[in-house]
Amino acid sequence: MANYGAHVVNFGANVVIRPAKVFLPRSEAELLQLMTEHRGRPMRAVGRLHSWSQLLETDGVVFDLRHFNSVRVNSDEMGPVLTVGAGSQIKHVLAQLDRQKLTLPAIGLISEQTLVGASATGTHGSGRHCMSHYLTAVRIAGYDATSGKASIREIREGSALRAASCSLGCLGIITSIQLRPRPQYFVEEWLTMHGALNAVLSLEEVSPLQQFYFFPWSWRFLGQHRREVAKPKTWLAPLYHAYWFLLVDVTLHVALRTLVRTLRSNRAIKAFYRYVVPGTLIRGWRVIDKSHRMLIMEHELFRHIEIEMFVKREKLEKSLNFVRELLMAFDGDLSAINHATRAQLEKHGLMAEIEEAAGCYTHHYPICIRRVLPDNTFLSMASGTDESWYALSFISYAAPSDRSGFQRFANLLSRSMIAMFDARPHWGKVCPLTAKEAERLYPHWGDFLLQCQEFDPAGNFQNDWLRRLISPCDDCSN
């Protein structure tokens, strides 16, 4: 039995689950035995509980595969092949690969998650595909259709692989995955401020791994420009990491939390972005270090909650204009919503709710914007098209008991961006998506449902939220 208490809480403390049982199996044989014993009960696997979405919820059996923590590199005729156990955290995978001068083809902002949990929700960084895109094989425990016994299937190609690489945990319990690592590489980074979106986007060609931030209340852009270079680490890199850790990851976040949680001053938050933050950023300093040292931040130091919306490039500018109008309206200035936007919102039946919510939330964190290349999976947020997507993230550091304003904002943001820009919410973050919207937004939604039917006809691996998405009743509203 697990060393969990009566309930399990995720990183953001917005999902609390009370499973009937939690198991930490040590081998595939033990997992299969447990699955056979508990056949017919709802089951979910968890990684490091870093998701904010309802994916984690269950009152059934939870499998925590932390003991499946092996990381192996073999070789075949095409090069190295990485096999990672379902419980391995990305940071351990990266450390082991680095010793062999290898690394992962894509990483996100932090490395605390399991690689399996990260790929199950389409986790991504900037300038590459999401992690799920790179999977070449998935070992998954489910129930045999004829004998009904728990057994392992190894998936290596076709529709099954495209579904299993971003599975939302719906196809069964994944025990390990395979992908091709790439040679370790160096990344150069520098910061610049921009007044307009086009200015920061125009640097994408020279810094294809860049991400950028849209500052609330100053409405300017900070580009964190990044590119792969064939040059060694710069000798000041450790100083740059220390600056970033102490000033950005710690001091700015402590200051922000104090403004939001203790002082609760909207005027001070606005002044913070207009006058304090720009003065702390060292622009133009070019630093080079190993890829994972440059790309990963310590964003897990302070508890927060996040929603992230994906839009295509052609809708990026309009989306950001809308975001600015919506944030100002939520802060109390309804006149910020222009006539065209108002007409759109009225058409979709959202304007009255926005009017009611005016003044209930002041956004207090930079909106991080990352480019994700088109994915080959059925369900990751950049899948189903051949163009890149841009992910816009919205984070709140309000105390968990004080998040009603953010939740209202996230809900209306998601519904309006889906209606107006065909935006897709990240599966692992706050995800207010309905079955109708999922079907409209994902061209391979039907293909994914067929795989769910094939792997899990009884729906053992779904929870209530997934059931409403995957098998909605004919007359229900979602």
Ligand X SMILES: Cc1cc2nc3c(=O)[nH]c(=O)nc-3n(C[C@H](O)[C@H](O)[C@H](O)COP(=O)(O)OP(=O)(O)OC[C@H]3O[C@@H](n4cnc5c(N)ncnc54)[C@H](O)[C@@H]3O)c2cc1C
Site residues for ligand X, 175-204, by CB under 6 A, read none
The encoded tokens of residue 93 equal: 């995978």
Q: Between 169 and 223, name the residue whose CB sits nearer to ligand X.
A: 169
User: Dihedral sign, CA of 140, 143, 149, 155?
Assistant: negative
CA 100 distance to own-chain centroid: 28
Among 173, 326, 327, 345, binds ligand X (CB under 6 A): 173
Number of alpha helices (DSSP H) and beta strands (DSSP E) in the chain: 17, 20
Is residue 164 at the binding interface for ligand X, with CB under 6 A as the rule? no
In degrees and rounded to multiples of 5, residue 242 shows phi and psi of -65, -45
Stretch in the footprint of ligand X (CB under 6 A) among 106-114, 194-202, 250-258, 408-416: 106-114
Among 8, 42, 44, 237, binds ligand X (CB under 6 A): 44
Closest to 80 measured CA to CA, from 8, 183, 1? 183
Is residue 24 at the binding interface for ligand X, with CB under 6 A as the rule? no
Distance CA 415, CA 429 (A): 15
Is residue 113 at the binding interface for ligand X, with CB under 6 A as the rule? yes
Q: List all residues 6 or more positions away from 463 whose beta carbon is below 8 Å from its beta carbon.
A: 42, 44, 54, 55, 57, 58, 60
Distance CA 362, CA 216 (A): 9
Cα separation of the two ends of the chain: 37
Applying CB under 6 A, the site for ligand X has a residue count of: 33
Closest to 14 measured CA to CA, from 38, 40, 49? 49
Distance CA 32, CA 153 (A): 12
Query: Cβ-count burial of 116 within 10 angstroms (0-12 exposed, 13-18 middle, 19+ buried)?
Result: buried
Among 82, 120, 354, 395, binds ligand X (CB under 6 A): 120
Q: Between 55 and 452, name the residue whose CB sits nearer to ligand X.
A: 55
Is residue 433 at the binding interface for ligand X, with CB under 6 A as the rule? no
Least distance (Å) from ligand X to the CB of residue 275?
A: 27
Site residues for ligand X, 54-83, by CB under 6 A, read 55-56, 65
Is residue 114 at the binding interface for ligand X, with CB under 6 A as the rule? yes
Is residue 326 at the binding interface for ligand X, with CB under 6 A as the rule? no
Is residue 48 at the binding interface for ligand X, with CB under 6 A as the rule? yes
Report the amino acid identity of residue 372: V
Is residue 168 at the binding interface for ligand X, with CB under 6 A as the rule? yes
Distance CA 135, CA 437 (A): 27
Least distance (Å) from ligand X to the CB of residue 150?
A: 14
Name the strand (E) or helix (H) holding 234. Answer: none
CB 309 within 8 A of CB 425: yes
Site residues for ligand X, 276-305, by CB under 6 A, read 299-300
In degrees and rounded to multiples of 5, residue 75 shows phi and psi of -130, 150
Q: Between 306 and 325, name the residue whose CB sits nearer to ligand X.
A: 306
Distance CA 101, CA 105 (A): 13
Q: Between 60 and 266, name the residue whose CB sits nearer to ligand X.
A: 60
Distance CA 219, CA 478 (A): 35
Least distance (Å) from ligand X to the CB of residue 44?
A: 5
Stretch in the footprint of ligand X (CB under 6 A) among 168-176, 241-249, 322-330, 410-418: 168-176
Least distance (Å) from ligand X to the CB of residue 385?
A: 18
Q: Between 49 and 418, name the residue whose CB sits nearer to ligand X.
A: 49
Q: What Å distances lie between residue 239 and 113, 158, 231, 245, 325, CA to CA? A: 27, 47, 18, 10, 39
Distance CA 90, CA 307 (A): 22
Q: Between 364 and 426, name the residue whose CB sits nearer to ligand X.
A: 426
Helix, strand or coil, per DSSP, at residue 28: helix
Least distance (Å) from ligand X to the CB of residue 415?
A: 21
Least distance (Å) from ligand X to the CB of residue 125?
A: 6
Among 110, 237, 294, 423, binds ligand X (CB under 6 A): 110
3-state secondary structure 450-464: HHHHHHCCCCCCCCH
User: Pattern 207-236, binding to ligand X, x per CB under 6 A?
Assistant: ------------------------------
Q: List all residues 6 or more positions away from 391 whose beta carbon is below 8 Å from its beta carbon.
A: 124, 308, 309, 310, 368, 369, 370, 371, 372, 381, 426
Stretch in the footprint of ligand X (CB under 6 A) among 113-121, 186-194, 357-365, 467-475: 113-121
Stretch in the footprint of ligand X (CB under 6 A) among 108-116, 216-224, 254-262, 273-281: 108-116
Least distance (Å) from ligand X to the CB of residue 47?
A: 2
Q: Between 299 and 318, name the residue whose CB sits nearer to ligand X.
A: 299
Among 88, 121, 192, 218, binds ligand X (CB under 6 A): 121
Is residue 123 at the binding interface for ligand X, with CB under 6 A as the rule? yes
List residues near ligand X by CB under 6 A. Answer: 11, 44-51, 55-56, 65, 86, 108-110, 113-114, 116-118, 120-121, 123-124, 168-169, 173-174, 299-300, 426, 428
